[in-house]
Structures are given as C-alpha cells and as structure tokens.
Amino acid sequence: MKKFFKYLFIGLSSIILLIVIGVTIWWNIKSDREKSNFFASLHDFERAIKYDQNNSDAWMERSVYFNKSGDFKQGFEYLDKAVELDPKLHLGYRGWIRLRKMRDYDKALADFDRLDSLTPNFVDAPWGENIDFLRGECYFGKKEYLKAIEMLNRNIKNQKEDWSDIHSFVYLGLCEYELGNYEKSIPEFQRAIIQAKYTPESFFGMAKSYQKLGEIEKAKENILIAEENIRSKRDDYYNEFLNEIYLSEILEFKEQLGK
C-alpha cells in the first residue's frame, strides 16, 4: 500500500510539473506586446466598470477571462451583474457557459427559457447558436431524449434543413439510438451526411445502429468511414461537446466488430 501511494504521489507530481512547464512555455512564447495588451484589456474593463457601474458589457467582458480559465465563481460575480443590468443581452451567454463549460443543464435551460420569454416573436441565437439547438443539447445531456427531439426539430423548422447545424441531425440520430429506435436513427444520421458528406459522428452512429440491428457488414463499412474522417469531427479547443467522438473509441468498436 505504501508503494501504491508513493507511485501515486510521483505520478501526480509529474502531471503537475508538466502542466506548469506547458503554461510557462505558452506564456514565454507570447510577445511582450501580447502580454501587455492582455493585462491592459483586463485593466480597461475594470476602469470601465468603475467609471460606469451600469455598463453591462464591461461586466460581461470582464467575466470572460475567468470563465475561460475555469474560475466560474469569480467569473459569475461579473456575469451575474451583467445579466442583472441587461438580461436580454447577456442571458444567452450565461446559458451557453452553463451548458458548454459547466454542464449545468437545468440552469442553462432556465436562462434560455427566460431569454426566450423576453424576446417574443424572435428566434434568439445565444453566442451565435440557435436557442432551440442549445436547448436540445441540454435535454440530451439530461437524457430526456423525447424533449431533445422536440427542441431539435423546432430548430430545424426555424432554421430550415439546409441552414441548420448538421449536429441537429446527429443529435436526432443519437436520441433515437438511445431510445432503442435503431432503424429510425439511421435516416437521421444520413440527413447530416447529406449536408456534410464526411461527418464522422454520423458514420459512427450508423455503425452502432447497424450493429444493434445485426447488420454487421454495414456496421463495418460505416466504422471504417468514421475512422477515415475522424479529423472532420466536431471539436473545440476550449470545450468538449456532448456528442464528441474520439479515435480511441472508434478503434475499440472496430475491434469488437472484428471478433
């Protein structure tokens, strides 16, 4: 047991050291001008707040640094004030943060729903994304798949098929899959492929559905396409998406099919 804790301590120390080294390298490669601009911008927001306590934009912008770095306690002190001052302008961003960064689906939904109530006859787009698409993601995260389907279909209806985020269709396929509707999931995944030919999430989803249906050759065909196009997957440097896929799980599934 002593050896176990010894090795655990060594492992954790190594990880922390690597993180410190990585941050140090990142900071050192930034130019003096970039560093100066970074701190100057933070100082400018603080000055703007002191100058005008009712400047909701300054409160919101000041929160961004903290939320990006994961300090949500400090970030939300600024962001909540921004929402208090101008809920129409900042509720969407707060809901987006709660969904994408905090996985707090209930509070995210509360923000989206409140924003929607404040803007009748208008389809909101928090942080540039359709509000019903984001609500669909929230319900998917809550495993309320029927409600997610309702929101995603409303998003597609408002955005139109050709203009909807292709992951609206991916999520619809995933919802049907989770509900055990494997045959029904496949056409939904195919709708995404019509819009974007090499959508690995859809091919992976179809592979899993075909496996459940006992159509192993089709499952193998689709998992190979998913593997070949993994670089086209949905990803973001700062956030992990609810439907994000990884090469490791594709290869693991591929190996299962080969047995």
Decide if pLDDT at 39 tops 60.
no
Beta carbons within 8 Å of 157's beta carbon, 6+ residues apart = none
| Cα–Cα distance measured from residue 140 to residue 132, given in angstroms and rounded to the nearest whole number | 12
Contact assessment for residue 172 and residue 152, using Cβ atoms and an 8 Å cutoff = yes
Local confidence band at 259 (pLDDT 50, 70, 90 cut-offs) = confident
First to last CA, the chain: 38
| Cα–Cα distance measured from residue 257 to residue 254, given in angstroms and rounded to the nearest whole number | 5
Local confidence band at 57 (pLDDT 50, 70, 90 cut-offs) = confident
Instruction: Locate the domains of the chain by residue range.
Output: 165-258
The alpha carbon dihedral of 248, 253, 258, 259 has a sign of: positive
Q: What is the pTM of this model?
A: 0.81
Cα torsion through 16, 20, 23, 27, rounded to 10: 170
pLDDT, tens digit, for every residue of 85-102? 999 999 999 999 999 999
Weakest mean pLDDT among 1-5, 127-131, 233-237: 1-5
Contact assessment for residue 136 and residue 108, using Cβ atoms and an 8 Å cutoff = no
Mean pLDDT of 113-142: 96
Is the domain defined by 165-258 classed in CATH 1.25.40.10? yes
pLDDT at 4: 44
